[in-house]
Amino acid sequence: MSATAGTATAPVAGATARAVPVAAQDRIEAIDLARGIAVCLMIVAHGTNGLMPYADFPDWGQVPVHALTKFSSSLFFIVFGIALAVAFVPRTGTPDWPRRRNRLLWRGLVVLFWYKVLTAVELWDRGHEVVIDALLYRDFPSFAEILGFYAIALLWIPWLLPLWARTPALLRWLSPLPVIALSWWLLNHHDFRAPQLQALLVEHPDFYTWGQLARLPLVLAGLLVGELLLRWHGDPRLRLALAGGIALAGLALLAWFALRAGDALHAVLVEIGRNDGKHPPGLMFSLFSVGGALVLLAACVAGGPLLARLLRPVAVVGSDALMAFIVHLSVIFLLFRNVLGYYQSVSYEYALALSGLLILATALWIWLWQRTGDALRRARRSG
């Protein structure tokens, strides 16, 4: 969720020692674009489902529109890993690593703060007890919950990045498999006693919560892709080869999903739109969500800076995902639902149009926020 997560640094650690150096502090725009697509899909999902129940969506709103928004969460987790691989893993062997690690830890605390604030924003009209339960981890929100995953992840993953950088390549590439196995075993065979703890680690069907171990394989996959992206980004042919490989993996997962769904494909997509198999992650939901996320990521990698310029508002949204969450959730729950009274009183088409405008408004806010920050920094330096 860091605003600097798209920044590339010269490779110095063993994990990326053979990489083609990318100029320090240059942004790999494909990362911002991919993250921006994930946020924008989430804004569409929140902007429509936050104003009306899924059952009231028209058929075309359920499938394909709302079903396609399910790509967003998997894309988020993968891009999180890519950003760590590009901006932080190469620095784990340098003298300034403790400062960079602490920067990630501080970012985790900042995200945790805003997660709690936005939890209150989302739930405040349901009563004080509901808000307090969510703030104390007795219950969880839904729209703001992905920030909870990032907040916790940013407090423990930075400590493991130096170990990741020193791990042999074969073990890094195999690492998602034992994590999947461990998460499955804990989910099915371990008695957590506290369901909230289970939700935070491997997810629980009664809570809309992203488990640290349940989603870690996607973060690890992102770390692996990020290593290759850092190494090959400077060569257009290698970048396109990487994009092709990612696209083939995504299409293979989507083909597997379609084959398993068979003649019931449309009905399965409707249930996926209802979040069936999302928490804990089921096979069909995972095949669809991860497959689509990989296809979108491949397009961003292949398009490079040109596609990022063509979709500039989306890339701007992706350059500061935390701010995007602050803006869009505040607008939906405070302005649309409570001030304007749009909750369950507008058509799906109107809610979808509002979501599109909200994407543009969020991009404009972030752009103005960043320009203001840059101007203040220049003024301090000149003063």
- Give residue for tokens 């703890």: 197
pLDDT for the residue 382: 84
CA distance 166 to 93: 9
**Using 50, 70 and 90 to split pLDDT, how confident is the model at 265?**
very high
Give the start-end residues of each E strand in 147-222: none
**Using 50, 70 and 90 to split pLDDT, how confident is the model at 1?**
low
Task: Assess contact for 141 and 123: CB atoms under 8 A.
Answer: yes
**How confident is the model over 288-294, as a mean pLDDT?**
98
pLDDT for the residue 381: 87
C-alpha distances out from residue 241 to 75, 177, 237, 238, 301, Å = 20, 25, 6, 5, 10
Asked if pLDDT for residue 13 goes beyond 90, the answer is no
| DSSP-derived secondary structure letter, 9 | -
Asked if pLDDT for residue 3 goes beyond 70, the answer is no
- Give residue for tokens 């991860």: 290
Asked if pLDDT for residue 208 goes beyond 80, the answer is yes
First to last CA, the chain: 31
CA distance 138 to 136: 6
**Using 50, 70 and 90 to split pLDDT, how confident is the model at 146?**
very high
**Using 50, 70 and 90 to split pLDDT, how confident is the model at 10?**
very low
pLDDT in tens, 156-195: 999 999 999 999 999 999 999 999 999 999 999 999 999 9
Give the start-end residues of each E strand in the chain: 7-8, 26-27
pLDDT for the residue 16: 39
φ and ψ of 206, to 5 deg: -90, -5
Q: Which residues contact 17 (CB under 8 A, 6 or more apart)?
A: 11
Asked if pLDDT for residue 21 goes beyond 50, the answer is no
Q: 373: exposed, middle or buried (C-beta count within 10 Å: 0-12, 13-18, 19+)? A: exposed
CA distance 85 to 242: 15
Residue 208: strand pairing partners: none
Task: Assess contact for 63 and 269: CB atoms under 8 A.
Answer: yes
Looking at every residue in the chain, the average pLDDT score rounds to 93
pLDDT in tens, 25-50: 357 999 999 999 999 999 999 999 99
Residue 207, H or E segment: none
Which residue type does 257 have? F
**Of 276, 221, 245, the residue nearest 75 (C-alpha):** 221
